[in-house]
Structures are given as structure tokens and as C-alpha cells.
């Protein structure tokens, strides 16, 4: 069990979405925080909200997780501010719209630098310190798209499958050495954040209608509130759960992938289209 009260956590991508909700939920449960993001205004707003409501110590760190040197500096600064820091949440991430032929190599490298390498560098920077703590926890954000791989998500799914593989292998290594560090990988389903609206278009994507349809589909899939996602992640930390699925949609898709590992997408696509039709028709 990893105790939240009395702990100190670093959360990347803390200015909005799941990161923001998680920062607030951790503070409410007595956890000090090092908040990291590249959105300075959003970061300051979250910090002010926490300081106005709770007595927890909060430090703010302007960081681009795509830059390894900045992550190294974050680790030094966060540990200096919170010497007993024992929870690391690698949450920062971005999205990219477009089929494989519509995205450039530069597009994919941009996304991988944030979604995958940001997790790897964040884990590497903090792990030596975490190993010195009596109990510690790493939380790496993957996605339900780290379990299933829809069309139009070649880059995003690749990054989230990579986070999953990296995290599971590292967890097994930590278990082999009987480390005090626990590791959870998180697979959210549809969560109502701005990640889709803020997504980048592939360099060769010109079909604006299909882009709008993709965003509309994401909107219909976003059935879980960020606050609920944060509570579920905290439960997973406290229970040392190796895999944290968020939302009934994620649980259903995970099960379907197990039952139909090679043909799951046709069934999932039909379910999404049916749900979208109900919502548009006002029957939901």
C-alpha cells in the first residue's frame, strides 16, 4: 500500500485535464505537490486553487517533458522542494489526428518525444531518489489506446502501447529486486478533457470533414469526468494496482480485446456508432 496522506508527489501535465484533477484530489488527501507543465498560466491557476483550499506545500515547475534536460532539472528542483517526494505521476501527453499516410515522420517524432520519451525520462530522473524511500510509487499514463489500436491513431496508439510495454517490463524488474518502488500503468477510456480539441493535425491531413467527425466521435466517447478519473487513479495507487482501467468503456474494450484479439475493432466501431446515434437523437 502506498499512503497518500503525508506523501509528496510530482505531477506532469498538471495544468489541465486529468493532471489538474489529480493534483487537486491528492492535495485534498494530504499530499504535498510539485506541479509541472509548459502552460504557465494554467499551472499557476491550479497552484493558487490548491493553496487557497488546502495547507499542503505546493511548488510550481515550468517544464516541457519533450526536453530531457528540463526533466532532469525538474527532478532536482522538485526533490529540493520536497525531500521526501515519493510519488511520480508521468501524465503529460498530446494527441495527433490523421491516418498513417497523413502524418509525417516529424509529426510522429514530436508525439513520441512527449507521450513516450517524456515518461521514460521522467521515470529515469526520479527513480534513484524513489528507491531511497520507504514506500514509493510511479504512475505512468497510457490509454485504452495502449490496449486497443483504432484506425487513425497509428502514432498515438504506438506511443501508448510503448508506455504500457516499458511500464510493465520495469515493474517486473522492480519486483524481481524486491524494490520498495511500485508502478501502476493507467489506461483511461474516454475522459472529458481538451486533449482531442487541442490535438495537432497530421502534416498531410486535408480532410476537414473527417477531422470534425473524429473530434465528434471523441466527444461522444468522453463519458468519464476528470475528477472521477483522479479518484480512480488514487485508489489504484493506494492498492498498488499494476493496471488501472478508467471508465466502464475502458473495461468493456479491454475485455473485448481479450475475447477477440485480432478482430475487436469491428465490434467496437459498431458500439461507438450506436452510442453516437443515440446521443444525436436525444435518447441517451
Catalytic residues, which ones?
Answer: 156
Backbone dihedral angles phi then psi of residue 96, each to the nearest 5 degrees: -140, 120
Distance (Å) of CA 264 to CA 143, 167, 248, 268, 270: 17, 24, 17, 6, 10
What lies within 8 Å, CB to CB, of 259 at 6+ separation is none
Rounded-to-integer distance, Cα 157 and Cα 96, Å = 10
Three-state secondary structure string covering the chain? CCCCCCCEEEEECCCCHHHHHHHHHHHHCCCEEEEEECCHHHHHHHHHHHHHHCCCCEEEEECCCCCHHHHHHHHHHHHHHCCCCCEEEECCCCCEECCHHHCCHHHHHHHHHHHCHHHHHHHHHHHHHHCCCCCEEEEEECCHHHCCCCCCCHHHHHHHHHHHHHHHHHHHHHHHCCCCEEEEEEEECCECCCCCCCCEECCCCCCHHHHHHHHHHHHHHCCECHHHHHHHHHHHHHCCCCEEEECHHHHHHHHHHHHCCCCHHHHHHHHHHHHHHHHHCCCC
Amino acid at each position: 500500500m502506498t499512503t497518500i496522506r503525508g506523501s509528496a508527489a510530482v505531477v506532469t501535465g498538471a495544468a489541465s485535464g486529468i493532471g489538474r484533477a489529480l493534483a487537486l484530489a491528492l492535495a485534498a488527501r494530504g499530499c504535498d505537490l510539485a506541479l509541472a507543465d509548459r502552460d504557465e498560466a494554467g499551472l499557476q491557476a491550479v497552484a493558487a486553487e490548491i493553496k487557497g483550499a488546502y495547507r499542503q506545500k505546493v511548488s510550481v515547475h515550468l517544464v516541457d517533458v519533450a526536453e530531457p534536460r528540463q526533466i532532469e532539472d525538474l527532478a532536482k528542483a522538485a526533490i529540493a522542494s520536497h525531500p521526501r517526494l515519493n510519488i511520480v505521476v508521468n501524465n503529460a501527453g498530446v494527441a495527433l489526428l490523421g491516418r498513417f499516410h497523413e502524418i509525417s515522420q516529424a509529426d510522429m517524432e514530436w508525439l513520441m518525444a512527449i507521450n513516450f520519451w517524456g515518461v521514460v525520462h521522467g521515470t529515469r530522473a526520479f527513480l534513484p531518489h524513489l528507491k531511497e524511500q520507504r514506500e514509493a510509487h510511479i504512475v505512468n499514463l497510457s490509454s485504452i489506446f495502449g490496449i486497443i489500436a483504432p484506425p487513425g491513431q497509428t502514432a498515438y496508439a504506438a506511443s501508448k502501447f510503448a508506455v504500457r510495454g516499458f511500464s510493465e517490463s520495469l515493474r517486473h524488474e522492480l519486483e524481481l529486486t524486491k524494490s520498495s518502488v511500485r508502478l501502476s500503468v493507467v489506461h483511461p477510456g474516454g475522459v472529458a478533457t481538451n486533449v482531442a480539441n487541442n490535438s495537432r493535425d497530421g502534416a498531410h491531413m486535408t480532410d476537414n470533414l473527417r477531422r470534425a467527425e473524429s473530434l465528434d466521435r471523441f466527444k461522444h466517447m468522453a463519458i468519464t469526468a476528470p475528477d472521477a478519473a483522479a479518484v480512480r487513479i488514487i485508489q489504484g495507487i493506494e492498492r498498488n494496482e499494476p493496471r488501472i482501467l478508467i471508465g466502464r468503456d475502458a473495461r468493456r474494450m479491454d475485455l473485448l480485446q481479450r475475447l477477440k484479439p485480432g478482430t475487436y475493432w469491428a465490434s467496437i466501431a459498431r458500439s461507438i456508432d450506436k452510442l453516437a446515434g443515440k446521443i444525436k437523437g436525444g435518447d441517451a
